[in-house]
Structures are given as C-alpha cells and as structure tokens.
Copies of this chain bind each other. A is one copy, B any other.
C-alpha cells in the first residue's frame, strides 16, 4: 500500500508489483539489444541487467531464452502487419515489406529464424505471422478463388522477398540501392 501510490493512475493498470512492468520492459530491452547485436548474441543476463533485475527473474515471465525471442519476434510481426495494412498495390506491399526488413535487419533475421514447428505451439506468434500473410493475400490474390492457389501465389511472393532481402543483407548483391532492390523484387513478383 505505501509503495506505488504516486502516479499509478498514469498507467492503465500495473500488472506487476515490484518492477512496474518487467515483462514489457524486458521485451523492449531485448528488442533493442537484438537490433543492436543480433539475436544469436542476445543473452538473458544482459537483458536482465538492462532492466535492473536478477537474470533469473526473467524466467517468471518467459519459459526460456527461446520464448523471449519468440515474444520479440511476435511483437515485430505485429508492427510489420500494422504497416502492411496500409499497402494498396503489390508494388506498395513490396516496398513497405522491404523497407521494414532493411530498416530492422537484425529483427527481420530473428523473425525469419523462428522454426516453423515452434509457431504451431506459440499462438501469439502464429497469429502475428498470420496477420502479415493475410495482407499479402489481400494484395496479391484479389482475383484468385482457390485457397490452395492463393496460398501458392503468396508463397511465390515470399520466395522472392525473402531470397532477395537475404542476399541483399548478406552483401551478395552488388550493392544496389534499397530503391533498386524494391524495383527488382517488384518486377519479379509482377509476373505472378
């Protein structure tokens, strides 16, 4: 009672007691650290230190390191989906998708690194991914009826998007501009 009385009303409702909101703050810190150094390098201990907590405390909110990374990825997918909702044309979708991936390379690498098998057991992550796919369906498959055919078309889009972004960020492509990459991938996706 004596603690945390000050401006509690500022936040809708504090979910935790001592730290304020360890879960969401740890997520923010993890996202920042992943963006800075890549998800392979992320350690639970540096996340804990960043939010001023014992490293073992994170296990109260995340089952293990993978679960934390899954949560970071899910949040990122949700943000990407929010961007793609505003896309109008295939070119627009491609541009927004590529720009997000290149502006958040380490995060995009994390997102695409989540094993597909784990998604089936992680509803929040699966839902976030689905939101992104749904937007691709809306944009690229307007005149396709067969669900199987729609899915096939979307997958062809992702093959070029993922392949192109991967080769670009790997430095394999001879340094075209971001704009040139978008144009190239748009053209490849225009055929189908």
Residues on A close to B: CB < 8 A? 40, 112, 115-117, 148, 151, 155-156, 158-164, 166-167, 170-174, 184-185, 188, 191
Can you name the residue of chain B whose Cβ is closest to the Cβ of A162? B163
Contact A159–B158 (Cβ < 8 Å): no
Contact A116–B170 (Cβ < 8 Å): yes
Q: Looking at A112, A161, A163, which has the most chain B CB atoms within 10 Å of its CB?
A: A163
Contact B116–A188 (Cβ < 8 Å): no
Can you name the residue of chain B whose Cβ is closest to the Cβ of A191? B191
- Protomer copies: 2
Contact A158–B151 (Cβ < 8 Å): no
Q: Nearest chain B CB to A108's CB is how many angstroms away? A: 13
Contact A158–B172 (Cβ < 8 Å): yes
Contact B172–A188 (Cβ < 8 Å): no
Q: A40 vs B160: C-alpha distance in the bound complex, in angstroms?
A: 26
Residues in B neighbouring A170, C-beta threshold 8 A: 115-116
By Cβ-Cβ distance, the 10 closest A-B pairs, closest first, are: A163-B163, A116-B171, A159-B163, A162-B163, A159-B164, A116-B170, A155-B173, A191-B191, A116-B172, A159-B167
Beyond A156-B188, A163-B164, A166-B166, 9 additional contacts (C-beta under 8 Å) are: A116-B170, A116-B172, A117-B171, A151-B174, A156-B184, A159-B167, A159-B185, A162-B163, A162-B166
Q: Nearest chain B CB to A101's CB is how many angstroms away? A: 13
